[in-house]
Amino acid sequence: MDDSSDPRATRSRQAILSAARELLLDQGPAGVTHQRVAQQAGVGRATVYRHWPQAEQLLLDVMDLAGLPFFAEPRVPLRAWFRRRLRELADELAMPEVAAVALTLMQGAVWDEQIARQRDQFVRTLTERIAAGLALATRSGETGGETGGEGGSTTGSGTGSTPDPHDAAAMLVGPILYRTALQGGSVPDAFIDRLVDQVLP
Amino acid sequence: MDDSSDPRATRSRQAILSAARELLLDQGPAGVTHQRVAQQAGVGRATVYRHWPQAEQLLLDVMDLAGLPFFAEPRVPLRAWFRRRLRELADELAMPEVAAVALTLMQGAVWDEQIARQRDQFVRTLTERIAAGLALATRSGETGGETGGEGGSTTGSGTGSTPDPHDAAAMLVGPILYRTALQGGSVPDAFIDRLVDQVLP
């Protein structure tokens, strides 16, 4: 609480978070108990209880994906920016630890209101950042007319146009999630290019 | 085991499966215990144990999504067929029970090998069925050249072409999953049209 400026407390907080993250990866959410976290972190159980009276809250803090820099700070050219950001997301989600946290957040939200709020926050953040990227693409003239390189005929009506940020988020992140969490295996650059082409036609 | 032809055994099996499905929806996977299932189904605990000695196996059977008719039996015109099948999938996943089962399958597979096998089976089935749909689209001339209605110039090279079935599955199912399981809310027909346009350009 008040010990946020105490370097020792900060150190033990970090050690507890890392230990909880490792346990989540090894054993699933059920493995994140005060006792195991304390043992793994090399701190007393009372210390874990002091920082996180509830194991669920610790699990939530471990799952703080919203703190990750996905899709932050859009830059021109937007096509390259979207590619880089999707590459990062795909590489993150290909790591078992991150996939485990993402799936725990998704599944836990069905039955737990607090987890649902955290999921909603994360989803909202992603949409806002993608919206910022699309808005900059529009301002810098990167949407429409760039499809074939010449003869920019269809300047964005109907399905060939840039989707709204809500749809764009689902069309960019959904396939990456499906590939990493369900199909397994890596995400080739060509697949990422395809996804970007849908959003910036 | 040998009682599959006994109508009473079939009835109690069905009652147990329904009860387990309801408990999964209400309480999550942890709620699916022999005792609660027996109570909810109105059968003896011994009956539940006889059919499913392991609660995990019961949970797996409840989660038998591969038995669902997603993307079965492709028909021309394929564009309309893909639209109908995606509409069905979106409507199924919008039901809390189906979403809960799908997410439990996804998350459980991270830590449980048996669930991972079931997930892989489901993902493989989806890909095979989508492959059958795309193959029929190619045979019936529905791929490429249909984009704008006239002047079919770009007949499918690079990112404008029809993706392979593995990629197509991720591009069709991933956004639906993201929309229903993460963003919440309904899936409009216009969004489904967008997804189909990507796969049958």
Q: Cβ distance B67 to B177 under 8 Å?
A: no
**Nearest residue of A to residue B178 by CA position?**
A174
Residue-wise pLDDT for A5-18, tens only, equals: 788 888 999 999 99
Confidence of residue B53 (pLDDT cuts 50, 70, 90): confident
- The CATH architecture assigned to A65-199 reads Orthogonal Bundle (1.10)
The shortest C-alpha distance from A177 to chain B (Å) reads 7
Confidence of residue A145 (pLDDT cuts 50, 70, 90): very low
CB contact under 8 A, A174 and B169: no
Residue-wise pLDDT for B30-47, tens only, equals: 788 899 999 999 999 999
- CATH code of A2-62, in short, is 1.10.10.60
- Asked whether this chain's domains A2-62 and A65-199 adopt the same fold, the reply is no
Mean pLDDT is highest, among B54-58, B66-70, B175-179, for B175-179
The predicted pLDDT at position A47 comes to 95
Mean pLDDT, chain B, rounded, equals: 84
Q: Please report, for chain B, the start and end positions of each structural domain, with discontinuous segments joined by +.
A: 2-62, 65-199
Residue-wise pLDDT for A128-139, tens only, equals: 999 999 999 999
Nearest-10 Cα torsion for B64, B66, B67, B69: 140
CB contact under 8 A, A178 and B197: no
Tell me what the mean pLDDT of segment A56-66 comes to.
Answer: 74
CB contact under 8 A, A123 and B182: yes
Contacts of A164 in chain B (CB under 8 A): none
Instruction: Nearest by CB to B159, from A104, A160, A194: name it.
Output: A194
